[in-house]
Structure 1
Amino acid sequence: MNLILFDQPKVHQQLRPVTLTRPISGIRTGILCLHEKWERRFAVTASFLTEEYLSDKFPVKYTSDNLYVNASLLATDILVQAILGLNSGQVLKNNEKVLAWKSELKFAFGELPVGLEVVEFVGQVKLIAQLPDLFLNNAEEIESDFKLLTKGRVSAEINDQHTVVYGKENVFVEEGVNIKAAIINAETGPVYIGKNAVVQEGSLVIGPAAICEDSMVAFGAKIRPNTTLGPVCRVGGEVGNSIFHGYSNKAHDGFLGNSYIGEWCNLGANTNNSNLKNDYKEVKLHSYVTNGLVSTGELFCGTFMGDYSKAGISTMFNTGTSVGVSSNVYGSGFQEKFIPSFAWGGASEGYQAYRFDKAIEVINATMARRGKQLTEIDLKILENINKS
C-alpha cells in the first residue's frame, strides 16, 4: 500500500499562514502531526500531494497500489478500517465529502476522482479545514494520540519529592525527563511529557496537555488545558488552548490563548494576545481565500503565526490575528489583525517590507542555535512566499 495524503487547494489556502511552508498533513494538532497519525496507524511512510512550490520538499510518490487519503482528516480507528477496506477503483465519501480512494492511476494536485464506485462512510468525520479547527480539536487529539503513543508501555517515574501529581494514571513520562517542584494535574485529561523534556520549578501543567521531546516549561509557567508544546520549544507565562508547532520560544511571562504558533518563532517578554472580544461577538479572521476578514463563528480565537516570525517585547496581538511567515513585529498598541509575510514594524510605526536577504540571515542565525540551517529547497519555498 502506498499512502498519499492529498491537499485540497482551497483548504490549503484556508489554513494559511500555518500551511504557507508545509502541506496540510504537516500541521500539528494533539501530540503528533497529521501525517504521523496516519503513518502510525497504517505502519507506512506517507508522501504528499500538495502545492507545486512545496513539492520539492514534500514530494508525492506513485506506485500501482495508491491509497489517497484526505490530508485534513483526523484519523480514527473506525475510519482507518473503512479506508483499509477499499478496493481499487472505490472512493470513500461522507455526505459528498471525499475522504479517500484507491487507484493505480496518478492523480494531480487538486484533482478528485470521477467515475469510481462510491462507498459511503457512516460515522463521525472531523477535518482540519479552518484555522480554529486546530485548537478546537486539540483536546480530543491529545487524548487520542496519548492512547496511540502509550499503549502497552509503562511510564518513567517522577521521582522529585517536591512535584505533586494528580491523576497519576493519566500521566506518561518518557525517559530523560527532568521535573522539579511542579504541579501536574491530569484529572481533567492526560498529560504527555516527551523524551528529555524539562519542567522547571513552580510550573503548573493541567491536562489535556503535551510537552513534546526536548521542550521546556519555564519557571512558574501556567500551562492550561488543551495545550501542545511541540518538540524543542521553550515556553513560559500563561498558555491555554494553544499549539506550538516546534522549535519556537515564548520563554517569558505573557498570555497566549486559542492560538497556533509555527516553527522557529519567538515571542518576546510580556507578549500577550487577546482571544475574546469585549462585546462577546464572533471573532473575525483574515482569509487568504477572500483576502479579507471572515467570521470564524467562534467567541474565542487568538493568533495564528507562520514559521520564522518574531514578536518584540510587550507586543499585543488583537483578537483573531494572522501573522505570515518571517515577519518581525514590534511596537506599542494592538497590532493589525493581518500582518503579511516578510513584514517589518508595528501598527504604531507602520509596516514595511522586510529585506529578504536580511530575513534569511536572521532565520539562519536562529536555526544555528539548534545546530540547523535552511536548505536550498527551504530557500526556494521562502522566495516563492516572498514574491507571492
Structure 2
Amino acid sequence: MSAVIFTHKQYRAEHLFPFSLTTSMETIPAGMMTNRRRWEQIVKNDLNDRPGVSWFIPANLLPSARLLDQLRAFSPGDFLHIENGAVIGYGTSEADFSGKPSGVLPVTAVDFISYSWEIFEMNARLLHFDFALLTSERESAPLTAGNRVVNEAKVFIEPGADIRFSIINAEEGPVYISKNALVMEGSCIRGPVFIGEGAVVKMGTRIYGGTTIGAFCTVGGEIKNSVLFPFSNKAHDGYLGDSVIGRWCNLGAGTSNSNLKNTAGNIRITLPSGNYQAGMKCGVLMGDYSRAAINTSFNSGTVTGICANIFGAGLSPKWIPSFSWGYSDDTPYQLDQALVHLERWMQTKKQTLTEEEKERITLIYNQTKTKKS
C-alpha cells in the first residue's frame, strides 16, 4: 500500500481547466515540486509511516506547519474533517474515517488549490514552504565569483548549476537553483524563485518573486509571479505576469500579457464550466502543447486549451479553445498536423512524443470535435 493516497472528492477538475485535461491535481507543478512529491516527502521525513497504513490526503490540499503539528500526533484511524467536506486521514482505507473525527478544521485554517488561477496565487507561499523542506540538512554549492547575492542564507544552489555574473536577492524569499541549470550573465532574480533542473535563464532576464521555472524551460525578458511547467519556453523579451504556462508551450519573441484591468477591477475568467471571478491580477492560463506567435498580446484573464496555435492582430480573445488555429476556432488545428509539429518541438529538447501522450491528445481532440458537432 502506498504511503500516501490522494483523494479527489473535494474539488472539481473542470475548475482546474486547462491543466486538468492532461495532468492530475497532485502532479500539477507549483512551488518547487508537485503536491504528490511534497506530501510523500513530508510523510517520509516527518509523519508516521507504518507498513500497511496510508495517509489519505485531498489532492489539492497544501501543507502548512500548523497542519503538520496536528498530523504528527495521529495514530491509525485518526482523521481530521474540514468544513468543506474534505478529510485528512491515517488508516488502512477510507472506511476507517466514518466515526468521530479527531478534529474539525474551518476552511480558513487550510489552503487548497481549487481553481486554475490559484496555482500562481499560492505559488509564493509554496516556494517558502518547499525551500525549507528541500534544503533541510543539506549544504548549498558555492556561487562562483562575479555574482552578487543578498541574504545568501536563503539561496540554495545544487551541484552542476552554472550562474554567471548575476544578481540574486533573497531578502523577500528564497531562491533555489537546480542542478544543470544555466543562469546567464546579467540576470536579476528576486525571490522567492525556483529554477528547475536543466533550465536556461538567458542574458539580462528579470525574474520577480513568486515564480517557478520548470525543468528544461528556457526563459528571458521579464517574469513575475508565474509558474512555467517543464519543457516550456518564454525565451525572449516581453512580459509574463500572474500566469500559468503548461508543458511544452512556447511564447514567441515579444509576447506579453496584461495582468491588470484598466479599471483595477476583478478579472473574469471563462472556463468550459462557466464564468468566474479571479482576483485583481490574472494573466494567461495556457494548456499543454500550445504556442503563441511573436508579439502576441494576451488579454488579462486569457484561457487557452491544449494544442492551440495562437496568432492574430490586437489583444487576444479571453477564451481560446483547444486545437485553435489562430484566434478563431473556425479553422481547427488538425490532429495529424498538431502531432507532427509537437514531435518537432520535442526534438528541440531531445525528447520524443510518447504513445501515452499521443493517445491522450487524440482523446481530447475527439472529445472537442464531439462537443462542437
Q: TM-score, normalised by structure 2?
A: 0.90
Query: Residues of 2 paired with 1:70 and 1:183: CA distance?
Result: 39
2:276 maps to amino acid = V
CA distance in 1, matches of 2:124, 2:243: 13
Amino acid at match of 1:75: P
- Partner letter of residue 41 of structure 2? R
Residue in structure 2 matched with residue 70 of structure 1 by the alignment: 58
Contact 2:155 2:170 in 1 (8 A): yes
Does structure 1 retain, via aligned residues, the 8 Å contact 2:230–2:248? yes
- With over 3 angstroms needed to count, the CA separation of the structure-2 counterparts of 1:204 and 1:88, relative to structure 1, is same
Contact 1:160 1:179 in 2 (8 A): no
| CA–CA separation in structure 2 for the residues paired with 1:126 and 1:24 | 14
| Higher alpha-carbon deviation: 371-380 or 306-315 | 371-380
User: Match of 1:214, SS?
Assistant: coil
Quote the offset at 1:245 in angstroms.
1.1
CA distance in structure 1 between the partners assigned to 2:363 and 2:332 by the alignment: 15
Note the alpha carbon deviations across 1:111-161, whole angstroms, 9 max, x for none.
Answer: xx9844323244721000112211121111111111111111111111132
**Aligned 8 A contact 2:160 2:181 in 1:** yes
Q: Secondary structure at the match of 2:364?
A: helix
Aligned 8 A contact 1:10 1:289 in 2: no
Q: Where does residue 261 of structure 1 map in the other structure?
A: 245
Q: Secondary structure at the match of 2:26?
A: helix
1:311 aligned onto 2:292: yes
Cα pair 2:80 2:105 within 8 Å, conserved: no
The percentage of counterpart residues that share the same residue type is: 35
Deviation of 1:106 (Å): 7.5
Provide, for residues 268-305 of structure 1, a one-character-per-residue CA deviation record: whole Å limited to 9, x for no partner: 00001000001111100012322xx2211x11111011
1:323 aligns with 2:304: yes
Query: For residues 93-104 of structure 1, what are the structure 2 equivalents within 5 Å?
Result: 93-102=81-90, 104=92
Letter in 2 for 1:305: M
- Please give the residue correspondences for 1:1-388 in structure 2 after superposition, counting only pairs within 5 Å: 2=2, 3-8=4-9, 10-43=11-44, 65-80=53-68, 82-83=70-71, 85-86=73-74, 90-102=78-90, 104-105=92-93, 115-122=98-105, 124-161=109-146, 163-290=147-274, 293-296=275-278, 298-346=279-327, 351-388=330-367
Could you say what secondary structure the match of 1:147 adopts? helix
1:369–1:116: structure 2 CA closer, same or farther, 3 Å change rule? farther
Q: Report the residue type matching 2:363 in the other structure.
A: N
The alpha-carbon deviation at position 65 of structure 1 amounts to: 3.9
1:166 Cα deviation after fit: 1.2
- The residue that corresponds to 1:51 in the other structure is none
Secondary structure of residue in 2 paired with 1:175? coil
Post-superposition CA distance 1:197-242 (Å, at most 9, x none)? 1111111100111111111111111101111101111000000010
- CA shift digits 1:47-74 (9 cap, x unpaired): xxxxxxxxxxxxxxxx964432100001
Structure 2 unmatched runs, 5+:
46-50, 368-373
How far apart are the structure 2 equivalents of 1:127 and 1:366? 34
Structure 1 residue runs without a partner (length 5+): 45-62, 108-112
Aligned 8 A contact 1:241 1:258 in 2: yes
Instruction: Tell me, in whole angstroms, the C-alpha distance in 2 between the residues paired with 1:9 and 1:382.
Output: 26
Question: Which AA in structure 2 matches 1:279?
Answer: T
SS at match of 1:343: coil
The CA deviation at 1:9 is 7.6
The structure with the greater share of residues assigned to helix is 2
Q: 1:97 deviation in Å? A: 3.0
Determine the C-alpha separation between the residues in 1 that align with 2:74 and 2:154: 36
State the distance in 1 between where 2:143 and 2:29 align: 27
| 1:90 positional shift | 4.9
Listed one character per residue, the Cα deviations across residues 325-357 of structure 1 (whole Å, up to 9, x for unaligned) are 11110122111111111111126xx65211001
* SS in structure 2 at match of 1:118: coil
- Once the two structures are TM-superposed, the CA of residue 10 in structure 1 deviates from its matched residue by 4.7
